[in-house]
Amino acid sequence: MRLLDLFCGAGGAGMGYHRAGFEVVGVDIKFQKNYPFEFHCADAFEYLEQFCQNFDVIHVSPPCQGFSDLKKMHNAKHHADLLTPMREALKVLGKPYIIENVEGSPMFNYFTLCGSMFNLGTETAELRRHRRFEMTQPPLMIPPHIHGTKSRVIGVYGGHGRDRRRKVNTQDFSTDERREAMGIDWMNGRELSQAIPPAYTEWIGQQLLKALEV
């Protein structure tokens, strides 16, 4: 089955769907030199309108800056809500879709995935990266959300890797450690900070394929 990966970034979500068994095509308004599959540099709304008929499933990861903790910073810029109009466009199409975004985003009937659900991290640090998912066909069972007992917690954001348990947010993890924690070996540090672990969408893709085969 073919999956359209809108607002694809460098392909964290796309890689997960690929591993689950989908043929993946990515679209982003910014050129993504490290995207590992077929890529089109285009406006997501325009591409969806023109080529939606070529795809069985659509995944979207609209920009999250307007919903994340960054919006509270004194120098925060205004970011338009692209999630809401994209949801309306997807509903009109009637195809299976997945919307991914950060905590605080305007999602409906969503579930949350975290790195701890998939044993992600490094030898000494656990990856805690919470992301919300809204689907037309949500899975019946969600993996247990139990944080582990490792001494450190890695957060991958802002181009850095920081220990989320420390009061002083110093850069504690190298780019290689962040790649290991995310299960991503083809991105640079900036791209990692915008990505989600492929483990999330590999699991979602497997659940979705089962539902579509019924």
Q: Domain tally for the chain? A: 1
Whole domain around residue 144: which residue ranges? Answer: 2-213
pLDDT for res 140: 82
pLDDT for res 188: 94
pLDDT for res 77: 55
Query: The domain that contains 87 carries what CATH number?
Result: 3.40.50.150
Q: Are 40 and 25 in contact (CB under 8 A)?
A: yes
pLDDT for res 171: 52
pLDDT for res 48: 98
Instruction: Classify each residue of 132-143 as buried b or exposed e, where b means 16 or more C-beta atoms within 10 Å of its C-beta.
Output: bbbbbebbeeee
**pLDDT digit string (tens) for the chain, length 214 residues:** 999 999 999 999 999 999 999 999 999 999 999 999 999 999 999 999 999 999 999 999 999 755 554 444 444 455 689 999 999 999 999 999 999 999 989 999 999 999 999 999 999 899 989 999 999 988 889 999 988 878 888 876 544 455 544 444 445 788 899 999 999 999 998 999 899 999 999 999 999 999 988 5
- Closest alpha carbon to 90 in 132, 44, 157: 44
